[in-house]
Structure 1
Amino acid sequence: MAAPLALSPDGQLKLVIFDCDGVLVDSEETCCRISAEEARAAGMDVSDKNAVATFSGMALPSVKKIIEEKTGNQLPSDWIDATKKRFVAAMRQGVEAIDGVHAMLEDIRKLGLPVRVGSNSSCEEMEAKFQATKMTQYFENRIHSAQDMGIPKPRPDVYLYAAQQEGVNPANCVVLEDSNTGARAAVDAGMVCVLLRAKGEPVPEWPNLLVIHHLSEFAPLLQKTLLKQAEFHGV
């Protein structure tokens, strides 16, 4: 019998794992725009307007694969490294935090829950983003890159690795995501996923998936869960 998941009253919530782009840092539009620029340079027909819809949640190897498939052109062997440098430079010039993120992180810290990050961004990109948005203190030595692992989402490996590093079972983790690609990775990792999504936008009909519309809803959800679990386990 499978263990109850992290947000079930009879479960045990032990670790919060965040995606980065679109959940903590508002950098997805910038990265997708750069990807679209690179795609057009290679001959792919994609506008800046459609950049997020085309490249959202993707690691650079996946972006490279799509461009090559759509254009029939082979990109240079150093394309991923060169594009990653463009991402990092853009992040250092300025990137915004998602609305409400600092208050949310402080509330989760008060709950005593450990946190980690699992992202398709490289560790170098994430370090630049967190430095620019003053979040380094929350995630120092606790960030994990699916891109650097060579196994990007929607594969679940980065989330499974984060849980392993914390020494907890996947069933004891909750993941906060904003993309379908990342949510698929979390669900396939055997974790419960909370999807941050604007009202009215479509949501996949997958198991173990909850939806919130603003970061201010996340910490109260976790607090309520911990109280119910304490009651259930007689703590």
Structure 2
Amino acid sequence: MTAVAPLPFRPQAVLFDMDGLMLDSERAILDCLAQASAEQGHDLPYSLWLQMVGGSEAVCRGLLHQHLDPEPAQTLLDRAHALYEVVVDAGVPHRPGIVELLDWLQARGIPRAVATSTKRPLALRKLRAAGLLERFDAVCTSSDVAHPKPAPDIYLLAASTLGVDPLRCLVLEDSPTGVRAALAAGMTPVQVPDMLHPDEEVRGLRHRIVTSLGEAQRLLEARLATADPA
């Protein structure tokens, strides 16, 4: 296995996005949107749904309004939400490596928080159904802040809730929107891309990009294996 260069600091907390990072929900959400669109006879490109990855409800609604009037857009969203409710109740599958990483962090006493653009009631339902809710010391959602990602609010709230300096927080994100939120909060993001592969602009942010949660764990293992306590 290729050696992994350690992180530049020893994190005092790890903050997790939810959809697309811990749960394989982005595909499910986009499939529900595409199905609702097809059912209602709209000819909308799949690229539109991809633009919504990592965005808040308001951002997604705004993108949809570029293609549909408010009334048909709302009808589409209502149908997509109904389809997604079925998926949530069945339990959204984990992304590979999440349980192993949470086990590893918990064994070392490293605090963990969720910072998700999902509204609180749905976020708690999804985490509970996936068996992950009790694995976190805090859950922060878009219901809890004035400004969603890419604003830093949700990550600053998570750090404050854990009582950890933002500069000592490691953030795990799958989307460019979340990466920008973490950077705006003064934190160190590691991106684990799912449906959106980083383009030149995103790579220009000069953050770490890994291929899996397992690789993200190896970054942490390499840091904690050093004698440097900083």
Length-normalised TM-score, structure 2: 0.81
Residue identity in the other structure for 2:107: K
Shift in CA distance, 96/103, structure 1 to aligned 2, threshold 3 Å: same
> 1:168 corresponds to which residue?
164
Structure 2 residue aligned with 1:205, among 203, 206, 209?
A: 203
State the percentage of identical aligned residues: 27
Which digits, 9 at most, give the CA deviation of each residue in 1:131-157, with x for residues without a partner? 222212202x61111255352211111
Structure 1 residue aligned with 2:217, among 216, 219, 226?
A: 219
Please show how residues 25-104 of structure 1 align to structure 2 within 5 Å: 25-37=23-35, 45-47=43-45, 49-50=46-47, 52-73=49-70, 87-104=84-101
Which digits, 9 at most, give the CA deviation of each residue in 1:79-108, with x for residues without a partner? 978865654442112311011211111011
Alpha-carbon separation, structure 2, partners of 1:109 and 1:83: 36
Structure 1 residue aligned with 2:150, among 154, 178, 188?
A: 154
Answer whether contact 2:64 2:73 (CA < 8 A) is retained: no
Gaps of 5+ in 2: 1-6
Length-normalised TM-score, structure 1: 0.80
Answer whether contact 1:39 1:67 (CA < 8 A) is retained: no
Residue identity in the other structure for 1:143: V
Alpha-carbon separation, structure 1, partners of 2:76 and 2:144: 15
Residue identity in the other structure for 2:151: R
Residue identity in the other structure for 2:97: G
Answer whether contact 1:44 1:67 (CA < 8 A) is retained: no
**Number of residue pairs matched?**
222
Tell me, what secondary structure is at the counterpart of 2:186?
coil
Answer whether contact 1:186 1:193 (CA < 8 A) is retained: yes
Pairing 1:134–2:131 present? yes
Tell me, what secondary structure is at the counterpart of 2:11?
coil
> 1:181 corresponds to which residue?
177
Alpha-carbon separation, structure 1, partners of 2:132 and 2:229: 34
Shift of 1:38: 5.2
Say what the alpha-carbon RMSD is for the aligned residues: 3.1
Please show how residues 9-24 of structure 1 align to structure 2 within 5 Å: 11-24=9-22
Tell me, what secondary structure is at the counterpart of 2:228?
helix
Which digits, 9 at most, give the CA deviation of each residue in 1:121-176, with x for residues without a partner? 1222222222222212202x611112553522111110011011111211010100
Gaps of 5+ in 1: 1-6
Structure 2 residue aligned with 1:109, among 82, 106, 110?
A: 106
Alpha-carbon separation, structure 2, partners of 1:58 and 1:40: 22
Shift of 1:28: 0.7
